[in-house]
Amino acid sequence: MKSKFLVYLTALTSIALWGLSYIWCDRILALGIPVEYFLPFRIFIAGVLLLAVNLVFRISIKVRKSDWVTFLLLALCEPFIYFFCETYGIQFTESPTISALVIATTPIVAMGAGFLFFKESVSWQSIVGILICLAGLVLVSKARPDTSGRLFIFGILVLLIAVFAEVGHASCTKALAEASYQPTVIVMYQFLIGSVYFLPMLLTRGLENYEPELYLSHDFFVPLLNLSILCSCAAFSLWAIAIKHLGVGRSSIFLAMIPVATALWGWILGDEKLLAWQWAGLGIAICGLILTQVGGKRKSGEKSQS
């Protein structure tokens, strides 16, 4: 029971940190600094910090030749494809609400991937739990008809690519974790390789309107370091542990709670007030999440007895 509690705690901690990351990203974007500039720096700093951690604690960073392709695919899926498609998908749809709901379908796709590639069981409780969780998310996200953008349909397609990229990231992480790589090593290579993928964007659009006073300011570096240390180093390392123990399908269900975490952080920090029906949505989403995990445990228990 203690080990299960710690696994769930790692998953929830990752979600809480990623929910907070939206607030820090919003503060950076409010300064007028483009994604193509701060995102490469965020993941590069995180990769270097994790390299230092691995060296200090003498964790082996050696990679077997047969696993390099998986590491390259991991970094390609996330951060590169996922962050690229998520950002531009929101821009094209011009609807943060609908965009969040599209991204929240990740658990459904991930559950299918877990079943097909890792032989993970899927129970009816998990399916019902996901639907309940999504219903609660609609309430928390204040879902309402938004003014859609001119490229709305294209934006939806781009967001769906982000969903599949996230599932690909989880699948690669699961494979590498089962190959006995430490979480900090997996995430270190993910970010260092990912920063190379982003380099062309940094050198072109990222530096297009470079202003030294703004780009080197305290207002920029404080949230940047928070994103690198907490939301990248810590959150992704903990997430790798969660995927290893919960599997691709069950761990990905927690991702639907990121908008909920963001709303809660906004309320805690005084940036947003939650209405009564949003609190109700929060309760519904949590109930759905609990149901998915109970369903998974029952299924695995039945399997072990047989």
pLDDT tens digits, 168-208:
999 999 999 999 999 999 999 999 999 999 999 999 989 98
Does residue 290 fall inside a structural domain? Answer: no
Q: Select, from the ranges 6-15, 117-126, 246-255, 285-294, the one with the highest average predicted confidence (pLDDT).
A: 6-15
Does residue 174 fall inside a structural domain? Answer: yes
Q: What angle do CA 226, 228, 233 make, to 5 degrees?
A: 115
What b/e readout covers 35-63, taking b as 16+ CB neighbours within 10 angstroms?
bbbbbbbbbbbbbbbbbeebeeeeeeeee
Does residue 137 fall inside a structural domain? Answer: no
Q: How many CB atoms lie within 10 A of CB 73?
A: 15
Does residue 304 fall inside a structural domain? Answer: no
Looking at the chain, the whole-number percentage of residues with pLDDT higher than 90 is 42
| Cα separation, 254 vs 211, whole angstroms | 39
- Which run of H or E residues covers position 51? helix 35-56
Does residue 301 fall inside a structural domain? Answer: no
Does residue 171 fall inside a structural domain? Answer: yes
Does residue 109 fall inside a structural domain? Answer: yes
**DSSP three-state, residue 33:** coil
> Does the structure show a pLDDT above 90 at 69?
yes
| Cα separation, 193 vs 44, whole angstroms | 9
> Does the structure show a pLDDT above 60 at 300?
no
| Cα separation, 185 vs 204, whole angstroms | 30
Per the CB < 8 A criterion, the answer to whether 35 and 29 are in contact is yes
Residue of 102, 115, 122 whose CA lies nearest to 164: 102
Does residue 132 fall inside a structural domain? Answer: no
Query: Based on the number of CB atoms within 10 Å of its own CB, is 118 exposed (0-12), middle (13-18) or buried (19 or more)?
Result: middle
Which range of residues forms the domain containing residue 210? 2-116+146-251
Angle between helices 218-226 and 35-56 (to 10 degrees): 50
> Does the structure show a pLDDT above 70 at 297?
no
| Cα separation, 288 vs 260, whole angstroms | 13
| Cα separation, 234 vs 191, whole angstroms | 13
What's the total number of domains in the chain? 1
Looking at the chain, the whole-number percentage of residues with pLDDT higher than 70 is 88
CA dihedral 67, 193, 168, 229 (to 10 degrees): 120
Per the CB < 8 A criterion, the answer to whether 253 and 292 are in contact is yes
Could you read off the pLDDT of 222-267 as tens digits, one per residue? 999 999 999 999 999 999 999 999 888 788 888 878 877 877 888 8
**DSSP three-state, residue 49:** helix
Q: How many CB atoms lie within 10 A of CB 5?
A: 9
